[in-house]
Amino acid sequence: MIFKITFLNIEKRVAFIFHPFFILLFFLPLFSKADFAFAPKNEAAYTEFLNLRVTKGQTLINQALKENAKNGISIYLANYEDAIKIFLTEDAKLYKQLSKNEDSRITKLQALEKNSPYYRFTQAEVKLQWAFVKLKMGDELNAVMGMRSAYKLLEENIKLYPDFVPNKKTMGLLNVIIGSIPSNYNWVLSLIGMEGDIDKGMEQLNDVCKDDNPFRLEASIIKVLVENYIVHANKGQIEEATKLYQENRYNLLICYLYAAILTKNSRGAEALTVINSRPVNSDLIYFPHVDLILGELNLYQGNYPSARIHYSNFLSQFKGKNSIKDTYFKIFLTYWLNDEDDLAMPYLDKILNNGRELYDSDKQAQRVAKNKEIPNKSLTKVRLYTDGGYYAKAFDLMKNLSLNQFFTKREKLEYLYRSARLYHKAGQVNDAIDYYKKTIELSKEETYYFAPNSALQLGYIYQSRNEKEEARKQFNLALSYKNYEYKNSIDNKAKAALNELEN
């Protein structure tokens, strides 16, 4: 149970990077050794995998294995198709069918040249790929054991080959992921021999990005991801994501990544343009979360029929259990906010009877459906317009609302919180501070996410003003709240911010 609770936080870190992205698996080795030769077909396969043309990549790897069945790079790359397909689709039958390949590939790699820097590295990568897949599929304990094995192999490889570039890239990401886990779980990490350090991880990634080597693209992708989803992003980091996209417009993975980052930063109109201009052809693997983000962006705009189409596409083609409850809740909203209440209500039962509660968003959907916490239509529209960056529409709605017209404690809290978020995102920071503080004051003894996220946002504001003590106070306040929706996400962000303040 301890493993399950603890490494659920790692699952979230993996989720924001690999749900929707399987970035850690995509990289290009630098050197060639007798048993680890990076042949032209391997390089071509790498390119296809990075562009999510998985079938083409696997065809090339199969050809490479026919030419040399003992090339460790080919064996290692052969793991990509399995891992990417399972991770993106969450297909339980496919997982059961392909999971046996992990042991067979490790056995083949262990029979190769032991004095190559790739010997331990490729084994660690295969173990790590499967660890992330297992986390996604709910097999937490075996995932933890696989991650620990990968971590130890990488640790040893770094001691033996400290200048080997892949070591820095992969361990850099692990340092950031593990380092962002809340401190109350550190004793468990220490017990199983894994330590993380966000600053060290970022330094390792920066070293790869700055060096003129074939790993720069993947390292840049990872760096942009952790900066925007773990380390609090600033304007410069968003500009870095923009540059990455501009240089790789025809890469579906990077196109999706940039749209997701724009969405996260309330730039919905730009995100919609980016995702609508994504590459579309039959060679690409089906990327289910493209439909999810299209649903989200249309929902923000108030284009409910289009949003519903994309959410329904996701449900009809996705074979996994994550994001299902949240998607049914979003479909509920497409009817509810359009005053089609009779069509909306059956979707609350669908939330209760489908999917699982691993992600915070699914937990929140389950809570809404179970407790019949029907959202206030006006406040929900304000939230969606704010999240999408449509501030004028949000302010127009807020002009007709006041605290006194809400009767439940939750709605009063939400009114204050939505006001704070709107002012904050619209750049009216002093008004935002006032409403965040009012939210915290009114939230005593309540278990909603409004207060902890208000504390987190206040921490970010004070951090940006270099008021470190006040920022630290707010981040610790955010961590102090118990038993509320989105706790994993908020705790991880607060922990990362506190780590950043210490340096």
Segment 448-459, tens digit of pLDDT: 899 999 999 999
User: Residue for token digits 């908020």?
Assistant: 490
Helix (H, G, I), strand (E, B) or coil at 231: coil
Residue predicted with more confidence, 454 or 240: 454
Predicted confidence (pLDDT) at residue 163 exceeds the cutoff of 60:
yes
* Helix axis angle, 487-501 to 2-18, nearest 10°: 80
Residues 172 and 197 sit within 8 Å (Cβ to Cβ) = no
Cα–Cα distance measured from residue 137 to residue 132, given in angstroms and rounded to the nearest whole number: 9
Backbone angles phi, psi at 230, to 5 degrees: -125, -60
Asked if residues 23 and 225 have their Cβ atoms less than 8 Å apart, the reply is yes
Residues 75-99 have pLDDT tens digits of 999 998 899 999 999 999 999 999 9
3-state helix vs strand vs coil in the chain, percent to 5: 75, 0, 25
Q: Which CA distances in Å does 229 have to 65, 160, 315, 321? A: 37, 32, 25, 23
**Residue in the structure block whose two tokens are 């038993």:** 483
State yes or no: pLDDT of 25 exceeds 50: no
d(CA 457, CA 478): 9
The residue with tokens 């870095």 is 240
Q: What is the DSSP letter of 416?
A: H
Alpha helices in 303-376 (DSSP H): 304-317, 324-336, 341-344, 346-353, 360-371
The overall average pLDDT reported for the chain is 88
**Alpha helices, DSSP H, located in 161-287:** 165-179, 186-191, 198-210, 216-229, 235-247, 252-264, 268-276
Pairwise CA distance, residues 189 & 186, whole Å:
5
Tell me the CATH architecture of domain 378-501. Alpha Horseshoe (1.25)
Q: In which band, very low, low, confident or very high, does the pLDDT at 20 lie, cut at 50, 70 and 90?
A: very low
Q: Give the pLDDT band (50/70/90) at residue 34.
A: low
Terminal-to-terminal C-alpha distance of the chain: 34
- Tell me the pLDDT band of 5, cut-offs 50, 70 and 90: very low
Residue with tokens 């929900």: 380
> Hey, which residues does 33 pair with through a beta bridge?
36
CA 444, CA 116: separation in Å to the nearest integer? 59
Answer whether 471's CB lies under 8 Å from 462's CB: yes
Instruction: Note whether 453 and 418 are within 8 A (CB).
Output: no
Cβ density class 13-51: b for 16+ within 10 Å, e for less: bbbbbbbbbbbbbbbbbeeebebbbbbebbbbbbbbbbb
Which tens digits make up the pLDDT trace of 375-387? Answer: 999 999 999 999 9
pLDDT tens for each residue of 338-381: 999 999 999 999 999 999 998 889 999 999 999 998 999 999 99
Over residues 50-69, mean pLDDT? 93
The C-alpha atoms of residue 110 and residue 403 are separated, in whole angstroms, by: 66
Report which of 290, 316, 358 is spatially closest to residue 135, judged by C-alpha positions: 358
The Cα–Cα gap between 80 and 102 comes to 11
- pLDDT of amino acid 23: 44
* DSSP letter (8 states) at residue 183: G
Average pLDDT (473-490) is 90
Give the burial class of 353: count Cβ atoms within 10 A of its Cβ; 0-12 exposed, 13-18 middle, 19 or more buried: exposed
CB burial string 148-164: b at 16+ within 10 A, e below: bbbbbbbbebbeebeeb
Residue 285 and residue 52 in contact, taking contact as beta carbons nearer than 8 Å: yes
C-alpha to C-alpha distance for 9 and 358, rounded to whole angstroms: 10
pLDDT per position as a tens digit, 127-154:
999 999 999 998 989 998 998 999 999 9
Please report which confidence band the pLDDT of residue 169 belongs to, taking 50, 70 and 90 as the band edges: confident
User: Residue 13 pLDDT > 80, yes or no?
Assistant: no
* Lookup: tokens for 292: 């999810």
pTM of the model: 0.85
Is the pLDDT at 305 greater than 50, yes or no?
Answer: yes
pLDDT for the residue numbered 188: 67
Give residue 299's pLDDT.
98
Instruction: Extract the tokens encoding 168.
Output: 């820095």
**1 — pLDDT class (breaks 50, 70, 90):** very low
Q: Can you list the pairs that 393-398 forms with residues at least 24 positions away whose Cβ atoms lie under 8 Å?
A: 393/302, 394/422, 395/422, 395/426, 398/422
Q: What is the predicted pLDDT for the residue at 212? A: 79
